[in-house]
Copies of this chain bind each other. A is one copy, B any other.
Amino acid sequence: MYTDSQVALTAKARIARSAPVGEVELFAGCQGLIGVVSRYPRDEEIYGEAEEAEFTYKVISGAVRTYKILDDGRRQIAAFHLPGDLFGLESGGRHTLTAEAVADTTLAVYKRRQIDALSEHNVDLACQLWRLTAANLGHAESHMLLLGRKCALERVAAFLVEMEQRIGDQGALELPMSRRDIADYLGLTLETVSRAFSQLQSNGTLELSGARRVRLLRRKALADLGGAG
């Protein structure tokens, strides 16, 4: 899917090269904001923390992680962005997180300047931008409760419930991310995440077929474990 030369391109250059494959609207019913389609291989950086926020993105396929990292490598993933999700929409001029492709990913890319210009005369658009940031804040608030106060099993249960709601199909879901990514999202080690999966499987709450293909058998039990939020 990728030639070496494509992989070697900077993020900006790749965007500039990409052809607008189709008209991908930022929001449903929002005319005038057409995204440029761009592809990112697994683990490619999309933007870095504190980098100027020149673009905003919408996931078409694949998945994206946004995170902060300490000097010694400890990493906290703030969110996963899945098909249909927008990310990289900062109110300030700079990104506050680093974004990377979790798997091979296709994105629609929008110029921030264009969004800003449109929203100045379009109250609905401005309101939607605000709502999107507020939704991210709401997610972060729930995640702080998880990180600060839930035990390992509760965290993993909450994660599975969240993923089922977002990409599940009648209890079946295909996780795009590794155990390490899950661990860094939940504030655990990958071993602890793995043990929690095993425990949930052995007590009949879920079934694994391959590490990333999960079937939730007792969703109510999972939801109770995961708690509100």
Contact = CB atoms under 8 A, between A and B. Distances in A.
Interface of A: 68, 70-71, 74-76, 78, 90-92, 96-97, 120, 123, 126-127, 129-131, 133-138, 140-145, 147-150, 184, 186-187, 227-229
Contact of A120 (B90, B123, B134, B137): B123
Contacts of A145: 68, 70, 76
Nearest to A185: B148
A227 B71 CA distance: 8
A134 B97 contact: no
Nearest to A130: B130
Copies in the complex: 2
Contact of A142 (B68, B135, B142, B150): B68
A130 B96 CA distance: 15
Interface of A is mostly: helix
Contact of A141 (B74, B97, B131, B229): B97
A148 B91 contact: no
8 contacts: A78-B141, A91-B133, A92-B131, A96-B137, A133-B134, A140-B144, A144-B144, A147-B147
Contacts of A150: 70, 74
Contacts of A148: 76, 147, 184, 186-187
A226 to B, nearest CB: 11
Contacts of A137: 96, 133, 136-137, 140
B70 A149 contact: yes
